[in-house]
Structure 1
């Protein structure tokens, strides 16, 4: 089964692109670049994943980030956290080793605003551009090429990157200087986890009240209570199915970034801090790899999470 959906790509001159990190998001994103006709070289820490990508999309596989980035016009990153990003950019075999002057690094990792600024500085020392560009829309959005992309960096770099980002994104905005994309992603995560917790409480309440929750969701889903989470997660939450999607471990990583930034800028996030602790409870029960919607397992008729 193809890992991406068919999409019409705007005509664009072919570029040499490196893509570092082929997780559930990076794999289809790199696939869209290949399908659009670009020369793509991929690198993934687990080499078998890179070979699986090549089996589907052809093109090239590298054994190090440095090899992938050699002579590339654009180098995209979609890795786990701040330290992973540092390693693939400036580690012993990092992309900076062979990247050419004038190329542009685009980081899709959800990371800190500080590491974005740090990487922009080290790239500038080699005349390489850098833009933070975290993404939202989940695996389904990546497969469909319909991600939201939140960018931080210079106007010139944004204009240079935009036609290529449009291969896998539909809503793409420059939010300000380097780090602004990461700050916007933090706003996104605050909204998302709050909606998930609210939906979990609502579904559990309705179950305990003896309501037919499928019919409840149908009627309230057309009104002010509607949300992406309701339309895409309510049924699996009711079925207590969580073996897919965005893992609790990654949510906690993201919320750690949010709460740390809030301490720095003085924002008060009492509900977000509480939800972070609820996710910690899911982890303690063995649910670290479950989807973020598994918050409902802490409520009402839920069962203890199973990994």
Structure 2
């Protein structure tokens, strides 16, 4: 597979425009005071299907040739890519088949089914996902839309940072969570082309820190089944995303589980918006590294808001 280029991003933005939201950028005096920086939150929790992944999924689905439509699309995902691909497939009236770990949040499973997707459950590990998917692909013949290691998906995700740069001025840095690296790769693709002076940071749970270890070691390191409250960040990078990350990312900052939960709860309390644990990771990373960001204008990508309201992480700590 070839790496996408910026012309692919422009084409993707035109292709998906009728099917996605231009999401807002919010600010917060509270978080500016806590961080010592000016923070600008790109709120993809208000995106179609509740997550940025609607961008890449929609680009892939609406880029299919007419002869590919009958078999539909298929993927493996812990949640947001699954429901986003189901959303996009529904808009084009084609089948969508998804392998999901049985531990995925019920809210995300319900959303997949609500958009018309078929779920095949598996054990919660990367190897189990890929094995179950191989059988699904053989049975259906559907077009495989990888959650992040796909040029169409990366180009679609890159439209978020392209949009972001038209909504803000003179950012010093952008930070986004990283699991497989689709969003961060999209940031790399866009910013290296139109704003190369902007530093790019990733943020990752310390209990699922394979991307940070990869960047610091200079080689791709993968974990099979890490455990973290940030369920969207459990997957490892692949070849395409690793190429972007190793070339363009300044650093990947890690935070512990309590910091993630605290940051998530604080965003809910002070900004009055629903974000999922994965989105809280960059917020926690900024608060944990004040000297790195102090006095700067920082773009923070809030990647999604699909939360199981019956299993909020701070509720598990009560009593």
Task: Please give the range of the TM-score, normalised by the shorter of the 2 chains.
Answer: 0.3 to 0.5
TM-score (structure 1 length as normaliser): 0.38
**Given the two structures, how large is their TM-score scaled by the length of structure 2?**
0.37
